Amino acid sequence: MAKRSLTLAGNYGWKIKLDHQFEQEAIRFRDIRLKQLLTSLKMGIRYGIYITYNRWHSREPFIDLFGNRQVDRIYGVPVGGIGCGTIMRGWNGQFCRWQLRPGWYTYDIVFADQFTVSIRKNGEPSYQQVLSPCRPSSAELGDWYWGYQGSQATYRALYPRAWTVYELPGQNVTLTCRQISPIIPHDYKDSCLPVGCFIWEIDNQSNDEIEVSIMFSFQNGDGSNGDSSGGHQNETFTRFNNKGNSKVSGVLLHHHDSLQPCTFAISAKECDEVENSPPVSVSNSVHFNTKGSGRNISRQLLLHGKLENSSDKKAIQSPISQKGETIGAAVAATATIKPLHKAKMEFALAWDQPEVYFDAKEIKYRRRYTRFFTSNDHRAADLSEYALQNVKKWEKAIDQWQSPILNNESYPDWYKSAIFNELYYVADSGSLWVEMDGSEEDEADVAGHLKEVPGNGKQLQKEYGRFAYLEGHEYLMYNTYDVHFYASFALAQLWPMLELSIQYDFAAAIMHSDPEIRLVMWSGQRKPRKLHGFVPHDIGEPCDEPWKRINAYCISDVQDWTDLNTKFVLQIYRDYCATGNIEFLKDMWECAKHVMETAISQDTDGDGIIDNQGADQTYDVWRMYGASAYCGGIFLAALHIMCKIADLLDHKEDKARYSSILLRGREAFQQKLWNGEYYLYDSSKGSHSDSIMADQMCGHWYLQACGLVNNNEDDIFPKSHVDKALKKVFNYNVMKFKNGTWGAINGMKPNSEIDTSSVQSEEVWTGVTYALAANLIQQGMTEEGFKVAEGMYNTTFNVMGLGFQTPEAYYRVNCYRCTGYMRPLSIWAIEWAYNHVLKSGSKKLKK
């Protein structure tokens, strides 16, 4: 098993040396053109007042465009399951990004959190090294052996696993660390666990017998100020395997917090000789000062090859930390390895933060994993033991999931990296997966509108829980629906019950109203937070109370948006296609009718196409007026799907009504927007109405994905028009921008100049580029589709160095906007295109 995994790592994934330096500078989005500034000046003033007010009251804004955090290009595969928080281990070996408090990130490198190797020959020290090229800038842990040469190690990421191969100079020893988190499709138990495993293989290529120890050290906390607030304590633990041939030993690090306490656990497996691997013993140190020199713990490892406490000792507790003191602990595994032999050592990192609050502190939520692990002070130890017992099973499941893609010769190698590595965002998105088991406490806590979940929704959420993830690491809104529209192809294929849970929440929210009056920043008007019969933009922000106060977004009035309601219709039918769950479709029907009526009411001239009124859709500063290719196309697709659902559910009158509007709208769409080569941006005859929009065939993309396209001239969007429009987009938005190497720019003028009418028109959106690639592939333009997506992947991971924090947008080549974003999960629409469209038709995928 391990051999096969290593083989996969050697062939596929994102690879980088630990001393790599990215040549392209990455600059946070700042300046905009004067004409763009003037267009949004009033909104900018209102937004500035909003930011100032929030900061004065120590409250984080849902979007902070004035933030000054510059990106670190060091991130790798995060540790942890879905909805339980994540801990980032960067590609250079540092633990460096933390998401434990729901919806919030800290970006502290904790230098005490390390793996260290120590080698002894003939009972004498031979080599000791912290396995990271980074070192503290201060005297912190100054007696540790820093300075590993990054050129001697290679990192490879293939989420949810990562491999680091270390060559040890002068030792003739190679170390391979394999990092695994239990991200397993269609698994709704282990996938939610706050754990990660680190499996070390030590290859002794020398002619000497050596004693090797690997130490895993960890600070009690996440590197933030709370680590030195006092009141923290560590204690050792040991768990025995029922078969008696192994045990798990480690240290619990109890992190005191009056509201949301968390216990970390570091551990290693002690075992007899197994699978030609020598016996492994485990020792630990329950306490050291992480801001001190680190001399004692480093000397113990160097001189003795082990730490002060053996796994046979009774549980030991450290002194409770004092204010101003930061404490850590360590666990070490040791084995004696014969010449030309190998050994294996297994470590686990777990954390237990069972009950969490958002910033309003009105509702207490229980994380999903608490369903499977009973409440006790040592639950982190239970999680560690479970992880080390099941990691082999997890790897087998991951291999079974990934192998069909990795072994598909039709797919280019870069895609085999991109498709899995972009999936990091399902877990590392501030995501929260919580229990809804129907207890009295839950019923008392949940917001009123959530009790209105229709049909089978309550039972589904009772069994599978409720799920939310942020729009972005810097755009702090949960389940942003216009963006989820793109990203949802990942959940729909891999964890479809979570996707249905989200849709049930939105169905309940559609029928909910909230009369709270708020300032709308674009218009300066004051409008209700939420009206009945409208799809909300999001289900709330972490600095407030999501699921209770929805629609955190207030830059424009989302009740006026022309894509949210229709995107609900498209998504629920796509989810039906993914699950075959006709009961779900029945439950959604009344809500779909409500939002469709709302959308129809936005057709102001009665021509059968929804009409835009400005900043009223996902491109929320790229203004549209009248009929538009984007919103009009999605509207026609939604009408067609409503006809299909009505047919399935035998609602003949509804079908006849929607069919009549669709017939009228299809004709008007062609007359108003088709210019013989592509669909116009909008029908207003404004300065950018003739812009070539990369996303103009979005409605067709969803229809094709749902199997509702016959590929002829009778389709909602005639095949000849679709082919011409997509070729135009490829030739202009892709190939005329950076020679096709940076994805698809949102807007390109027919004279081959970039549309600079707004910031967003001259941006490349990563998620839209992946969606365009899927659209092209579905249409049989596979070579073009993969070229578009390859440019986006290469730009993000290899040029800009923004892997595992893929931004929403690139602007003017080396500027990025909003790192860590939801929409790039749309790359899974490419996999959907292959499995649901191409396989069902006669089209073949070309390499």
Q: What is the mean pLDDT of residues 748-772?
A: 97
For residue 536, the number of C-alpha atoms closer than 13 Å in the C-beta half-sphere is 36
Q: Are 534 and 565 in contact (CB under 8 A)?
A: yes
Answer whether residue 845 shows pLDDT above 50.
no
Cα–Cα distance between 661 and 682 in angstroms, integer? 20
Cα–Cα distance between 50 and 521 in angstroms, integer? 9
User: What is the residue-wise DSSP string for 670-729?
Assistant: HHHHB-SSSB-SBSS--TTTT-EETTTTHHHHHHHHTT---SSTTSSS-HHHHHHHHHHH
Torsion on CA atoms 54, 59, 61, 66, rounded to nearest 10: 70
**What's the pLDDT tens digit per position in 376-417?**
889 999 999 999 999 999 999 999 999 999 999 999 999 999
DSSP 264: E
Answer whether residue 328 shows pLDDT above 50.
yes
Amino acid 276: pLDDT: 80
Q: At what angle do helices 629-648 and 564-579 cross, to 10 degrees?
A: 50
Q: Kindly calculate the radius of gyration of the chain based on its CA atoms and give it in whole angstroms.
A: 27
- Quickly tell me which residue has 């509207």 as its tokens: 635
- Quickly tell me which residue has 């290899």 as its tokens: 798
Q: Are 762 and 31 in contact (CB under 8 A)?
A: no
Q: What is the mean pLDDT of residues 192-217?
A: 97
What pLDDT band is residue 244 in, cutting at 50, 70 and 90? low
Alpha helix ranges (H) inside 141-241: none
Cβ neighbourhood burial of 713 (10 Å; 0-12, 13-18, 19+): exposed
Cα–Cα distance between 763 and 769 in angstroms, integer? 11
Q: Determine the residue type at 475.
A: Y
Q: What are the counts of helices (DSSP H) followed by strands (DSSP E) for the chain? A: 20, 32
Amino acid 444: pLDDT: 46
**What's the pLDDT tens digit per position in 477-530?**
999 999 999 999 999 999 999 999 999 999 999 999 999 999 999 889 999 999
Cα–Cα distance between 340 and 180 in angstroms, integer? 27
How far is CA 469 from each of CA 38, 76, 84, rounded to the nearest angstrom? 34, 20, 11
Q: Which residue has the higher pLDDT, 812 or 103?
A: 103
Amino acid 441: pLDDT: 53
Nearest in space to 115 (alpha carbons), one of 182, 177, 201: 177
Answer whether residue 442 shows pLDDT above 70.
no
What pLDDT band is residue 61 in, cutting at 50, 70 and 90? confident
Q: Which two tokens stand for residue 386?
A: 């479970």
Answer whether residue 457 shows pLDDT above 70.
yes
- Quickly tell me which residue has 């009408």 as its tokens: 639
What pLDDT band is residue 840 in, cutting at 50, 70 and 90? low
The mean-pLDDT minimum among 258-262, 522-526, 657-661 falls in: 258-262
Nearest in space to 384 (alpha carbons), one of 216, 623, 587: 216
Cα–Cα distance between 459 and 743 in angstroms, integer? 42
- The percent of residues above 70 in pLDDT, for the chain, comes to 96
Answer whether residue 311 shows pLDDT above 80.
no
Which strand (E) or helix (H) includes residue 828? helix 828-832
Buried b (16+ CB within 10 A) or exposed e, 561-578: bbbbbbbbbbbbbbbbbb
Amino acid 439: pLDDT: 56
Q: What is the mean pLDDT of residues 707-721?
A: 95
Cα–Cα distance between 366 and 354 in angstroms, integer? 6
Nearest in space to 430 (alpha carbons), one of 537, 495, 356: 356
Amino acid 54: pLDDT: 83
How far is CA 23 from each of CA 19, 93, 496, rounded to the nearest angstrom? 13, 21, 40
Alpha helix ranges (H) inside 308-426: 379-406, 413-421
Query: How confident is the prediction for the chain on average, in pLDDT?
Result: 93
Query: SS3 sequence, 237-263?
Result: EEEECCCCCEEEEEEEEEECCCCCCEE
Q: Are 742 and 764 in contact (CB under 8 A)?
A: yes
Cα–Cα distance between 637 and 571 in angstroms, integer? 11
Nearest in space to 700 (alpha carbons), one of 804, 606, 756, 779: 779
Cα–Cα distance between 404 and 173 in angstroms, integer? 34
How far is CA 446 from each of CA 438, 479, 534, 605, 700, rounded to the nearest angstrom? 10, 17, 21, 42, 38
Buried b (16+ CB within 10 A) or exposed e, 95-114: bbbbbbbbbbbbbbbbbbbb
Answer whether residue 450 shows pLDDT above 90.
no
Q: Which residue has the higher pLDDT, 1 or 214?
A: 214
Amino acid 440: pLDDT: 45
What pLDDT band is residue 44 in, cutting at 50, 70 and 90? confident
**Beta bridge mates, 78:** 88
Amino acid 827: pLDDT: 98
User: What is the residue-wise DSSP string for 744-811?
Assistant: -BSEE-TTS-B--SSTGGGEEEHHHHHHHHHHHHHTT-HHHHHHHHHHHHHIIIIIS--TTS--SEEE
Say how many C-beta atoms besides its own lie within 10 A of residue 580's C-beta: 9
Answer whether residue 239 shows pLDDT above 80.
yes
Q: Are 358 and 552 in contact (CB under 8 A)?
A: no
What pLDDT band is residue 673 in, cutting at 50, 70 and 90? very high
How far is CA 638 from each of CA 565, 579, 609, 647, 768, rounded to the nearest angstrom? 9, 19, 11, 14, 19
Q: Whole-structure pTM over 0.75, yes or no?
A: yes
